[in-house]
Structure 1
């Protein structure tokens, strides 16, 4: 009887998870591999040969590779600065977390007013006499579009990683850092050998969560570039809403899911190996 009690207590949560995640996942898989009630790979072939798919996959991976390391580095620096307890530390914390209160679309529209051809950035550059105007979001300027989306995402979502790392740093005893200082460890050595290993669980959570969210970026890029800078989730939206093809949209969603799962497993295994070492 005792062995059944834990399962009985977990049963409501298990049923809830199966209904909330399991059933939609099964339906998505069936939709991606079916057409007209029969099994087919035509949906995947159509997705693969679509002119936007290759660009969307490349842009999504490139954006993730650039954004996540920058955000983690900035968040670590911000968290360490806050831990040093500067003046008005509480004000710093609230200012840095303001972007968390904004939706992705709102953040995208804010940065659209900055990067558009007649936006604040071009006006400022023109005032300085540096340039008459740069087409940051022009179709023939993929580097400019990537830069705009990266800046918008870094501004919008770094605070999420920052909050997680601040919570992790609160659990690190200051005695360890003070002991390292006594033995002559430099600031970099204390960070690499004391602080980061102690906040590894928080860093792991932040990396997994932020990478998955970076793979799923949609509204910011949509507001800034439309379909000129395609991303996987944006293409999923296009196929489902505009092209009215739920099967190809489901295939794209499964690609996003697969990439997210692979990244999560890589993070978990990599950090676990470091602990074992």
Structure 2
């Protein structure tokens, strides 16, 4: 009896130990270092240092703007793609497989792929020059073309990350009983009425989970930006990297990490408040 009572705790013990060693301990260490100065005293000096740095506001603006552009576009695309897949009778698995290929590509590899497409002598410029739309290869990915650079990163992120939302939403659609849509048809609701009044409200828990996950990943974007923009487009994670490895200032890098966490918590709270998923739906 006693063994069966403790069995669940034995089973989760390895996972709990792993989380404690590789997540909780590093998190507490970084949090502590963010609030300690070089003398080991509690201080806000690290936060003051990074906030007053000339790259902080551009990095914050670029990160939030990129998140605000990429995540809604990805959500709309993922919902549309998930609805298309759910209506397919043949070839559904093949289409879903093709659409989720970017999910298996790392951030760095995705950045290299899009760099090969968008750089001065990349595939896009070569094609445009071949069809006489441009006179010669043009350098778009630099500080002289900030809008083009921003949208290049946005397109790369949309291509790379939409599959994450798609998988979550396809799973959510599969949990919605078909009887609800059939009842809507019986009562004369057209497709758009059923979508707005039945499907999307019932899909809200999945939408909430997808938004939270994708927003957290968008706030931590790094490799794609570094490959396409480098130092010409600072973001919060690239500044964290610079403070840690270029400037050798662990305290300032930890302060950046805490700030990213604070922004993530605020946005997550916003999603939870606005979407307001009922407890029954969560269970």
Q: Same fold (TM over 0.5)?
A: yes
Equivalents in 1 of 2:249, 2:115: separation in Å? 30
Show the 5 A alignment for 1:89-108: 89-108=92-111
Tell me whether 1:268 sits opposite 2:269 in the alignment. Answer: no
Equivalents in 1 of 2:75, 2:143: separation in Å? 30
Tell me whether 1:151 sits opposite 2:132 in the alignment. Answer: no
Tell me if the contact between 2:34 and 2:47 (Cα under 8 Å) persists in the aligned partners: yes
Aligned counterpart for 2:167 among listed residues 138, 163, 166? 163
1:182 shift after superposition:
2.4
Q: Which residue of 2 aligns with 1:255?
A: 259
Equivalents in 1 of 2:180, 2:131: separation in Å? 49
Aligned counterpart for 2:177 among listed residues 169, 173, 180? 173
Equivalents in 1 of 2:233, 2:26: separation in Å? 29
Tell me if the contact between 1:135 and 1:144 (Cα under 8 Å) persists in the aligned partners: no
1:273 shift after superposition:
6.9
Q: Which residue of 1 aligns with 2:83?
A: 80
Deviates more, 1:116-125 or 1:102-111: 116-125
Deviates more, 1:128-137 or 1:199-208: 128-137
Tell me whether 1:228 sits opposite 2:232 in the alignment. Answer: yes
Q: CA, structure 1 residues 197+140, in 2 after alignment: closer, same or farther (shift >3 Å)?
A: same
Q: Which residue of 2 aligns with 1:9?
A: 9
Show the 5 A alignment for 1:39-58: 39-58=42-61
1:40 shift after superposition:
2.6
Equivalents in 1 of 2:182, 2:138: separation in Å? 50
Tell me whether 1:110 sits opposite 2:113 in the alignment. Answer: yes
Equivalents in 1 of 2:173, 2:278: separation in Å? 19
Equivalents in 1 of 2:181, 2:30: separation in Å? 49
Equivalents in 2 of 1:275, 1:185: separation in Å? 28
Equivalents in 2 of 1:183, 1:125: separation in Å? 53
1:227 shift after superposition:
1.3
SS in 2 for 1:39: coil
Tell me if the contact between 1:236 and 1:252 (Cα under 8 Å) persists in the aligned partners: yes
TM-score (norm 2): 0.89
1:107 shift after superposition:
0.5
TM-score (norm 1): 0.91
Q: Deviations over 1:17-54 (max 9, x none)?
A: 44443332221122112122222322222101211111
SS in 1 for 2:114: helix
- Unaligned 5+ segments in structure 2 are none
- Unaligned 5+ segments in structure 1 are none
Deviates more, 1:111-120 or 1:86-95: 86-95
